[in-house]
A and B are shown apart, each in its own frame.
Chain A
Amino acid sequence: MKNVLDILFHLVSNAILVYFLLINSFYFLFVVLSLIGIFRYHRMTSYVRMKEIFSLPLAKPISIIAPAYNEGAGILESVRSLLALEYPLYEVIVVNDGSTDATLAKLIDEFELKKTNRVFRKSIDTAPVRGIYISPHEPRLVVVDKVNGRKADALNAGLNIARYPLFCAIDADSILDRDALLKVVRPFHEDPERTVGVGGVVRISNGCVVTNGQVLRVGMPRNTLARFQILEYLRAFLGGRMGMSMLNCLLIISGAFGIFRKDVAIRIGGYRKATIGEDMDLVIRLRRHLHEQKVPYRITFIPDPICWTEAPENFKVLSRQRNRWHRGLVEVLSRNLKMMFNPRYGMTGMVAMPFYLIFEMLGPVIELFGYFLFGYYVATGQINFPFTINFFLLAIVYGMLLSLTAILLEEYSLQRYPRLADVVVIAAYGILENLVYRQWLTFVRVKAYWDLVRGNKEWGVMERKGFAPERGKP
């Protein structure tokens, strides 16, 4: 019996080694593709004047939809930032999703909003709308007050109200760079027939100096967790998403900053309400629908326009966020299993979906199993310590290498961290994250399965500090 168990464990160990090799090869492939993509993007956009879009007769107007739930701390700063964007024609729709704090009151007070009887087309069913407010002084701002129905429902309410052919979904606690819309809309002008969605880079605003709704100086946060997340965001956006976009199989356009064609989104029924990963779900359903309709399309990522968001600074909030993300991922993938390894869905079915299933969804389980196996070997005295230590170091060094390549991508694309010391700090955190942070995250993501089994649909409260200029000052 013991022999059988040993053979079994031996086989599993080898499988984990192969898994380790494969996952890192994929990440490396994405990083290489991202480097090529970023180089090409910058060369291709040289001498392009973004302001030219202002003179285009058919420049597509955009409806920005910002769902807000208890965002009182930073809502005014965010709305001011949205109203200061550079774009010829756009509207800002803030959807107050039944907030229990002063979100709506603050907006009414600041922009002198008046309730209207505006009639809108209910293309998508949503929780009841209690009122639509407009400002006599700021005609581009529309505030929708509705009964709480979660983020997807709020986005759908915004879609119903939106007047323009493109919509930009952003988080109400986010800040866009002033020229972000001009940059992100370019694919819609260059290839209007095929472009359906475009995503931009989301960066962490903790540690930055924010004044009048604009990030004036980029800095390094003092909080350790926020620093880890800076690195994660760099890897995810500049490494992963850019690489997947190069393979034309991008599956996530962040809910914090993405722009889509409204008609296609409405055609597939808008955001799915009964999901917590509504951003990924929308992109996958768009891909599924367009593949099934045999319509040529593009969903791309641009490494240039930037959206700033506030990262959680304590373990409790971060674990809630990551737990939610993982539950969202599991839900979305399990709803679209039909696409998995299905050549009918092209690269999406053959590369992106299996990647997310095997490496992102099952990754934490396999990793945790690896730790248990390690414990078992130690307990039974079967461990080859020199090999194990080497292997552990190899994993750390490989992780560090990936982090360094993400930093390199940042250096080539935006170079937003002006101080050399900041780059060194980020690189150091690339080593540190392998020691406790990574294992903790693995545990949090595995716990998400347990919550999913228990039927936990909680969104989790994000504690916001709001964007204050003092926060970033050294």
Chain B
Amino acid sequence: MSSLLPILVSHALVFMLLFSIALFGFIIARRLVLKRQDAVFESRYLQIEQDVLRAISAAEDSAAVEVAERYRSRRKILTQVLIDFLDLIGGRGQAVLKVIFDCALRERCLKDLRSPFLARRLQATRLAGLLTSAPEKALLVGLLQDKPIIRLAAVNTLVQFPDEGSLALVFQAFEQESCPNIHTYTNILYGAGERIEPYVQACLKKGPPVEKLTLLIELAGVVPLPALYREVAACADHPEKEVRIKVAKALSKFLIPESYELLEKMSGDPEWEVQAQALKGLGKLKNPAALVILTRGLFSPVWHVRYNAREGLLNLGSLGIRRLEEISRQKADKFASDMASMALEDFSYSRLG
């Protein structure tokens, strides 16, 4: 062993040294090659950019087709130009970009949707979402069974197309989705706006698991979808606290007078989180009748309830401000008095601002 060690060390030394030199050479060579490539990319980018700009300004779509034909072989640069423009322009300009994409890149993009490589499928799915005007729905539907990251990209793409079939597919995927990913759906579906109303309604009626129910109610509140008031209100007595919190939150976003009684009832919920949300909602409704409940909330032992009650009172305008002044002067409950003082101070700052 001891005679073998020096040989081993000297061999390792030579190997490591050669490897290091090769690695250093590789880093330098890569830098030089990239520098050259960047220069080429930049000059071609500028050229393509000018031609795309000309196509956007032209009255006919034929200019766009011509650009697509000319740069079909410069896939990477053309894609980058189109994506960069997409961030900057809207209206007809975007339509021109999509024409160029359809003529020059769409075929390859659709082919990549079937690629065995995950990253390529993902890139193609995102590109389809950004640039195609009519994706091959069948291909995207196939991706709804793919890995989570691809599935979500496919859902994102489908949501951007206004036909009802796409949304139906997205909700179908949502129903089948495992819980860790469903939060992302809410963010994606938000983009579709009020179009999702019938699907959310149908989902709510089916009685989904708690996690999905919570997100659907939250979504109904965020968009908002006040037409779903009845379905949302029906969950106000749900045994799960999280669901009740979201119901109170959604009702405070709907801002419909009918929700007053329900929110009043929820402000007496045994869980403080529900109480806090309900008080916030009551304030937003700006109904002077809520003054008593909001005042009671300000004396709650729970900080968040007090905080939301103070927000509610501020929302009631001069009536609430007067009540806050009264509470700030009382000495019986220091916490309520502090919260009221803070609210008044913030109010005066907001007026200054």
Contacts and interface: CB of A to CB of B under 8 A. Distances in A.
Given A117-B345, A390-B9, A394-B12, A190 B184 contact: yes
A380 interface: no
Contacts of B342: 116-119
A405 B23 contact: yes
22 contacts: A43-B119, A46-B119, A51-B87, A55-B191, A57-B186, A57-B187, A57-B222, A58-B183, A58-B222, A114-B349, A119-B339, A119-B341, A121-B303, A189-B183, A400-B20, A401-B16, A401-B20, A401-B23, A407-B27, A408-B23, A408-B27, A411-B27
Given A51-B87, A404-B27, A397 B20 contact: yes
Contacts of A40: 119
Contacts of A116: 342, 345-346, 349
Interface stretch (A134-142, A202-210, A211-219, A442-450): A134-142
A293 interface: no
Interface residues of A, number: 51
Interface string A423-443: 110010000000000000000
Contacts of B183: 58, 189, 192-193
A136 B347 CA distance: 11
Contact of B6 (A191, A384, A404, A408): A384
Q: Which 10 A-B pairs have the closest CB atoms?
A: A43-B119, A47-B126, A57-B190, A121-B303, A57-B222, A397-B16, A192-B183, A56-B187, A119-B338, A394-B13
A411 B126 contact: no
Taking residues whose C-beta sits less than 8 angstroms from the other chain, chain B's interface range is: 35 or more
Interface string A251-263: 0000000000000
Contact of A48 (B23, B126, B335, B345): B126
A194 B180 contact: yes
B222 A420 contact: no
Nearest to B351: A136
Contacts of B19: 401
A391 interface: yes
Interface string B168-190: 00000000000111011011001
Given A47-B130, A190-B149, A424-B28, 15 more contacts: A46-B122, A47-B123, A55-B191, A57-B190, A116-B349, A117-B338, A118-B342, A119-B341, A192-B183, A193-B179, A387-B5, A404-B27, A408-B26, A411-B31, A415-B34
A396 to B, nearest CB: 9
A454 interface: no
A393 interface: yes
A386 interface: yes
A220 to B, nearest CB: 15
Nearest to B349: A136
B179 A44 contact: no
B353 A137 contact: yes
Nearest to B304: A121
Interface of A: 17, 40, 43-44, 46-49, 51, 55-59, 114, 116-119, 121, 134, 136-137, 139, 189-194, 384, 386-387, 390-391, 393-394, 397-398, 400-401, 404-405, 407-408, 411, 415, 420, 423-424, 427
B17 A397 contact: yes
B187 A394 contact: no
Contact of A390 (B13, B26, B28, B179): B13
A56 B156 CA distance: 12
Nearest to A114: B349
Taking each of A192, A384, A386, A424, which has the highest tally of chain B beta carbons within 10 Å of its own beta carbon? A192
A407 B353 CA distance: 49
Interface in B205-235: 218, 222-223
B316 to A, nearest CB: 20
Nearest to A10: B2
A424 B28 CA distance: 8
